[in-house]
């Protein structure tokens, strides 16, 4: 068995914590894990790109065009990670992302930046895209629980929902309600 | 089975292999090794040293006393220790001495992408390279054993894809090493490295390398996996995984020599692979060190790799690079991919960072003139627009000497900006030199009393050691005063007016001037507020007063946005008030009005 997952977002969104939840759930199910992530430094508000490889794999970087799914906390980051996804792979993406600082500070012309519609069109050309409004579903604004719930409800995802639930309860107990919101929002859509 | 980062695997490996002393200086991606040992391990002496050279010499001293020791740094630190490293190779070691080095081939967070394996060759010490977390864990012990057998320091080289990656690892505490007699054996011909002794030890060192070559032939992490004869791959460290992934992807089955030791190389293993295989591809990151070694054994005829352009010499490798190299070499067509271009996200100084107003004040005081020489730390993020606050940044401690050189060449005014940890690390000799040689530059010390960029490690200015013991506090003002700087002022950079005034005064002062900007790191302050329950009081823009002049935008704060002609403050605001101080229209107010 192998399942290659990309977890993508922006520093400060709780991506690395979400990854820790997934890996501890995987270990609980006896599934081998390798994680390649970039962190450290003053990477605040920078892109966070995590390659999470479940089951049989070699290195910690997913070869281009081989990833099974993306869990993207931000549409622009979903687009950035697209090169690693196989054709027809799954993208679970939070609809409302974090604008880049050059855009929010008015330093970049808006036309140099792909519009939300362009982003989703590019994503949909290659992948099965599932949009989720994580911010609206997270009562406390912490979106990682919602995103984990959405991932957990995916039928092809190899980690059991029991292990995911337990890992969320253990690692981010305050986000358990958000997790259930994510499951409910997605479970009928697959 | 536990999930460990490569750094945690080093730490656990050290604990289980009987390391009794670990020293280091923080640097991405190596920092978490000492962090982990300092917070998780009881019966080990762990220290953050003032710089890497100090750390290595400390570890060498422990080794001379028979203690197993480990010294940890990023690749740039090896530049700093090179003087000591090359001599400790001559003296040899007593207790095993493992030098753990993390290279940054991409680089993700470094000013150069040097290949530290050259240092292993230069100093004549073995270099070992793990492929994953399990090997990292095991190689710490194997490296220490090797160090003791050869009486040489051993370098364990990792990269971010090991150090910051997570792997499932099986750990098993080794049998506790019988403690060697802790004594220093009187032997001046070995330990006092004066020229006549050096000449003798030079011969001994070269003999040790011959023995190391024999060790390499039977090193358990060097191995040939036999398969097809047409192509052979030689892969070291993390590149081995990329080679395995690539051959799997292309459905080819070359024989592979996996190298866990890249200096010295095992000539017999290489020759036996070459005898069977028509062509050899060498996969290694950065410099063609293995490839050149293979060529010197076999000649260049059938050896492919970096020198033939199949493997790039810059940047980290990945499976796709190796897939491309193999497809070129084997004539396998690849499906072309194309992907949309995506704009990059630039990291910035945090909202509330005290370096921002310090830079703002320096720029204001300079009024568009002069040169600002930065140094290594978070504060080099100040280079990005719109702050665009530094003009030069080279290596640890270089700001003050470079500023002096500019000044004496007629470039005026010149400001050197250096953080507290960098000042203690390598800044002090530069400042002493400026005082001694009477160069009237302005030096700004950004003092947040922590080594913040790498994870807020303590340093001599913090008042606490790595292991959490209270200790002396080195005060930059006292050090500067003893260096006879003529103008010394301390400011809180969060007071923009006062800081700007002081910067102007310092620039106008005819002698060497030093301004110390003291304020805690915004992250540390935020955590403290959270812990003691003091809420932040964020700001907002009164849109009726905002004239759209963009004065606040010039600060480059991630808490400020500029939309449809007016400024807005978003949820990242921590209430530092700097933007409110610089707004000429008084349009930025505290939420709730207080």
Q: Is the pLDDT of residue A74 over 60?
A: yes
Q: Which of B297, B330, B363 is the last residue of a domain?
A: B330
Structure ipTM: 0.92
Q: Is the pLDDT of residue A104 over 80?
A: no
Q: Is residue A154 part of a domain?
A: no
Q: Is residue A143 part of a domain?
A: no
pLDDT of residue A111: 59
- CATH number of the domain at B196, please: 3.40.50.970
Looking at the structure, tell me whether residues B16 and B116 fall in a common domain: yes
Q: State the helix-helix crossing angle for A161-171 and A144-152, rounded to 10 degrees.
A: 170
B residues 235-274 lying closer than 8 A (beta carbon) to A:
238, 241-242, 244-246, 248-249
What whole-number distance in Å separates Cα of residue A187 and Cα of residue B77? 51
Buried b (16+ CB within 10 A) or exposed e, B535-561: ebebbbbeeeebeeeebbbbbbbbbbb
The domain in which residue A127 lies consists of 2-133
Q: Is residue A47 part of a domain?
A: yes
The domain in which residue B389 lies consists of 355-529
pLDDT by residue (tens digit) across A114-151?
888 999 999 999 999 999 999 999 988 899 999 999 99
Q: Do A37 and B347 touch (CB under 8 A)?
A: no
Looking at the structure, tell me whether residues B197 and B256 fall in a common domain: no
Q: Is the pLDDT of residue A109 over 70?
A: no
Q: Is the pLDDT of residue A108 over 70?
A: no
Q: State the helix-helix crossing angle for A176-186 and A144-152, rounded to 10 degrees.
A: 40
Looking at the structure, tell me whether residues B409 and B297 fall in a common domain: no
Q: Is residue A124 part of a domain?
A: yes
Q: Is residue B348 part of a domain?
A: no
B88-107 mean pLDDT: 97
Provide the residue count of chain A: 190
Domain count, chain A: 1
Pick from A107-116, B213-222, B234-243, B403-412: least confident: A107-116
Q: Do A105 and B109 touch (CB under 8 A)?
A: no
Q: In degrees to the nearest 10, what's the CA dihedral of A55, B234, B314, B53?
A: 90
Domain count, chain B: 4
Flag whether residue B526 sits within 8 Å of chain A, measured between CB atoms.
no
Q: Is residue A152 part of a domain?
A: no
How near does any CA of chain B get to the CA of A31, in Å?
10
Strands (E), B465-550: 487-491, 513-518, 539-541
Looking at the structure, tell me whether residues B522 and B554 fall in a common domain: no
Nearest to A106 among B132, B347, B553 (CB): B553
Flag whether residue B348 sits within 8 Å of chain A, measured between CB atoms.
yes
Mutation pick from A6, A41, A76, A85 vs chain B, by most beta carbons of B within 10 Å, is: A41
Q: Do A46 and B29 touch (CB under 8 A)?
A: no
Pick from B20-29, B125-134, B165-174, B308-317: least confident: B165-174
From the list B204, B209, B202, B266, the residue with the least C-alpha distance to B234 is: B266
Q: Do A79 and B132 touch (CB under 8 A)?
A: no
Helices and strands (H, E) in chain B, number of each type: 21, 23
B423-445 mean pLDDT: 97
Looking at the structure, tell me whether residues B437 and B508 fall in a common domain: yes
B residues 273-312 lying closer than 8 A (beta carbon) to A:
none
Flag whether residue B548 sits within 8 Å of chain A, measured between CB atoms.
no
Looking at the structure, tell me whether residues B214 and B237 fall in a common domain: no
CA distances (Å), B145 to each of A87, B181, B592, in order?
Answer: 49, 17, 65
Nearest to B343 among A34, A43, A112 (CB): A112
pLDDT of residue B178: 57
| SS3 at position B151 | coil
Sheet holding B45-48, edge to edge: B45-48, B21-24, B69-74, B97-102, B154-158, B127-128, B261-263
From the list B177, B176, B142, B196, the residue with the least C-alpha distance to B10 is: B142
Q: Do A34 and B165 touch (CB under 8 A)?
A: yes
B200-229 mean pLDDT: 98
CA distances (Å), A70 to each of A5, A49, A147, in order?
Answer: 6, 10, 11
Q: Which of B218, B247, B265 is the last residue of a domain?
A: B218
> For B19, left (φ over 0), alpha (ψ -120 to 50), or beta?
beta
Looking at the structure, tell me whether residues B557 and B523 fall in a common domain: no
pLDDT above 90: percentage of residues in chain B: 92
A58: nearest CA in chain B?
B241
Q: Other C-beta atoms within 10 Å of A61: how many?
A: 26
- CATH number of the domain at B273, please: 3.40.50.920
B529-550 mean pLDDT: 94
Which pairs from B492-495 meet CB under 8 Å and 24+ separation? Answer: B492/B517, B492/B518, B492/B519, B493/B354, B493/B355, B493/B357, B493/B358, B493/B361, B493/B446, B493/B517, B493/B518, B493/B519, B494/B354, B494/B357, B494/B519, B494/B576, B494/B577, B494/B578, B495/B581
Q: Is the pLDDT of residue A110 over 60?
A: no
Confidence of residue B222 (pLDDT cuts 50, 70, 90): very high
pLDDT of residue A160: 98
Q: Is residue A45 part of a domain?
A: yes
Q: Do A61 and B455 touch (CB under 8 A)?
A: no
B321-339 mean pLDDT: 93
B133: nearest CA in chain A?
A34
pLDDT above 90: percentage of residues in chain A: 75
B474-490 mean pLDDT: 93
Q: Is residue B146 part of a domain?
A: yes
- Report yes or no: B340 and A79 within 8 Å, Cβ to Cβ: yes
Looking at the structure, tell me whether residues B320 and B372 fall in a common domain: no
Looking at the structure, tell me whether residues B7 and B97 fall in a common domain: yes
Dmax of chain B from CA atoms?
A: 82
Name B548's Cβ contacts closer than 8 Å, sequence gap at least 6. Answer: B565, B566, B567
From the list B82, B164, B143, B92, the residue with the least C-alpha distance to B116 is: B82
Flag whether residue B527 sits within 8 Å of chain A, measured between CB atoms.
no
pLDDT of residue A42: 41
**Residue ranges in B509-583 assigned as alpha helix (H):** 522-532, 578-582
pLDDT of residue B210: 98
- CATH number of the domain at A66, please: 3.40.920.10
Q: Is residue B65 part of a domain?
A: yes
Q: Is residue B337 part of a domain?
A: no
Q: Is the pLDDT of residue B532 over 50?
A: yes
B residues 442-481 lying closer than 8 A (beta carbon) to A:
453-455
Arithmetic mean of pLDDT over chain A:
91
Q: Using an 8 Å CB-CB cutoff, list chain A residues near B381.
A: 42
Q: Is residue B346 part of a domain?
A: no
Q: Is the pLDDT of residue B333 over 70?
A: yes
Q: Is residue B266 part of a domain?
A: yes
Number of A to B CB contacts under 8 A, please give it.
151
Pick from A137-141, B10-14, B61-65, B444-448: least confident: A137-141
How near does any CA of chain B get to the CA of A188, in Å?
31
Q: Is residue A73 part of a domain?
A: yes
Token pair in block for residue B198: 């050096």
Q: Do A63 and B323 touch (CB under 8 A)?
A: yes
Q: Is residue A158 part of a domain?
A: no
Looking at the structure, tell me whether residues B59 and B196 fall in a common domain: yes
Mutation pick from A17, A26, A55, A58 vs chain B, by most beta carbons of B within 10 Å, is: A58
Confidence of residue B486 (pLDDT cuts 50, 70, 90): confident
Sheet holding A67-72, edge to edge: A128-132, A85-94, A67-72, A2-10, A47-55, A33-37, B166-169, B2-5
Q: Is the pLDDT of residue A40 over 80?
A: no
Looking at the structure, tell me whether residues B198 and B307 fall in a common domain: no
Looking at the structure, tell me whether residues B70 and B139 fall in a common domain: yes
A37: nearest CA in chain B?
B165
Arithmetic mean of pLDDT over chain B:
95
């Amino acid at each position: 068995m192998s399942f290659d997952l990309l977890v993508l977002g922006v520093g400060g969104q709780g991506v690395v914590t979400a990854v820790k939840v997934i890996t501890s759930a995987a270990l609980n199910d006896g599934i081998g894990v390798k994680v390649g992530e970039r962190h450290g430094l003053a990477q605040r508000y920078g892109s966070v790109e995590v390659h999470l490889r479940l089951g049989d794999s070699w290195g910690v970087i997913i070869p281009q065009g081989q990833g099974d799914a993306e869990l993207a906390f931000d549409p622009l980051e979903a687009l950035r990670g697209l090169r690693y996804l196989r054709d027809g792979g799954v993208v679970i993406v939070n609809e409302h992302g974090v604008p880049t600082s050059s855009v929010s500070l008015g330093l970049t012309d808006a036309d140099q930046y792909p519009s939300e519609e362009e982003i989703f069109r590019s994503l949909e050309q290659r992948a099965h895209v599932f949009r989720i409004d994580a911010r609206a579903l997270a009562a406390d604004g912490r979106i990682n629980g919602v995103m984990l719930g959405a991932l957990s409800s995916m039928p092809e995802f190899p980690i059991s929902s029991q292990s995911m639930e337990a890992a969320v309860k253990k690692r981010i107990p305050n986000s358990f309600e958000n997790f259930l919101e994510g499951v409910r929002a997605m479970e009928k859509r697959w | 089975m536990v999930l460990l980062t490569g750094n945690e695997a080093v730490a656990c490996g050290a604990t289980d292999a009987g390391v009794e002393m670990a020293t280091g200086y923080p640097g991405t991606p190596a920092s978490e090794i000492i962090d982990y040992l300092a917070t998780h391990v009881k019966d080990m002496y762990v220290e953050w040293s003032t710089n890497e050279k100090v750390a290595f010499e400390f570890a060498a001293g422990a080794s001379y006393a028979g203690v197993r020791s480990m010294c940890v740094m990023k690749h740039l630190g090896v530049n700093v220790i090179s003087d000591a490293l090359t001599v400790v190779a001559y003296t040899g070691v007593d207790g095993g001495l493992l030098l753990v080095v993390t290279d940054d081939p991409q680089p993700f967070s470094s000013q150069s992408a040097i290949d530290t394996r050259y240092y292993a060759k230069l100093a004549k010490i073995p270099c070992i390279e793990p492929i994953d977390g399990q090997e990292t864990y095991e190689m710490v012990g194997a490296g220490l054993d090797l160090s003791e057998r050869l009486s040489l320091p051993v370098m364990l080289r990792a990269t971010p894809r090991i150090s910051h990656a997570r792997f499932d690892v099986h750990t098993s505490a080794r049998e506790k090493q019988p403690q060697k007699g802790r004594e220093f054996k009187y032997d001046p011909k070995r330990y006092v490295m004066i020229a006549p002794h050096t000449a003798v030890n030079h011969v001994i060192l070269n003999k040790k390398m011959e023995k190391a070559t024999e060790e390499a032939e039977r090193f358990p992490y060097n191995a040939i996996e036999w398969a097809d004869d047409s192509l052979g791959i030689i892969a070291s460290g993390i590149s081995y995984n990329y080679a395995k992934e690539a051959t799997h992807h292309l459905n080819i089955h070359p024989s592979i020599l996996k190298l866990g030791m890249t200096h010295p190389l095992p000539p017999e293993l290489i020759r036996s692979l070459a005898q069977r295989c028509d062509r050899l591809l060498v996969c290694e990151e950065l410099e063609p060190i293995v490839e050149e070694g293979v060529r010197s054994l076999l000649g260049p005829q059938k050896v492919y790799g970096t020198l033939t352009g199949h493997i790039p010499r810059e940047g980290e490798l990945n499976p796709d690079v190796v897939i491309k190299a193999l497809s070129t070499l084997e004539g396998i067509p690849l499906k072309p991919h194309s992907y949309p271009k995506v704009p990059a996200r630039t990291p910035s100084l945090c909202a509330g960072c005290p370096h921002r107003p310090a830079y703002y004040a320096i720029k204001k005081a300079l009024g568009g003139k002069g040169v600002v020489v930065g140094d290594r730390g978070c504060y080099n993020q100040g280079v990005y627009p719109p702050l665009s606050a530094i003009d030069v940044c080279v290596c640890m401690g270089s700001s003050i000497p470079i500023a002096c050189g500019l000044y004496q060449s007629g470039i005026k005014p010149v400001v050197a900006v250096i953080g507290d940890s960098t000042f203690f690390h390598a800044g002090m000799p530069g400042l002493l030199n400026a005082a001694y040689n009477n160069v009237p530059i302005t030096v700004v010390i950004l003092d947040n009393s922590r080594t913040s960029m790498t994870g807020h490690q303590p340093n001599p200015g913090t008042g606490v050691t790595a292991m959490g013991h209270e200790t002396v506090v080195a005060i930059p003002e006292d050090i500067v005063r003893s260096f006879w700087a003529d103008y010394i002022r301390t400011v809180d950079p969060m007071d923009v007016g006062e800081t700007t005034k002081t910067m102007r005064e310092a620039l106008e002062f005819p002698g060497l001037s030093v301004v110390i900007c003291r304020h805690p790191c915004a992250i540390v302050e935020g955590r403290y507020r959270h812990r003691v329950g003091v809420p932040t009081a964020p700001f907002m823009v009164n849109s009726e007063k905002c004239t759209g002049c963009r004065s606040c935008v010039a600060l480059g704060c991630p808490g400020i946005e500029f939309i449809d002609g007016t400024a807005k403050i978003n949820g990242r605001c921590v209430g530092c008030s700097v933007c409110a101080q610089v707004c000429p229209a008084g349009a930025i107010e505290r939420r709730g009005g207080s």
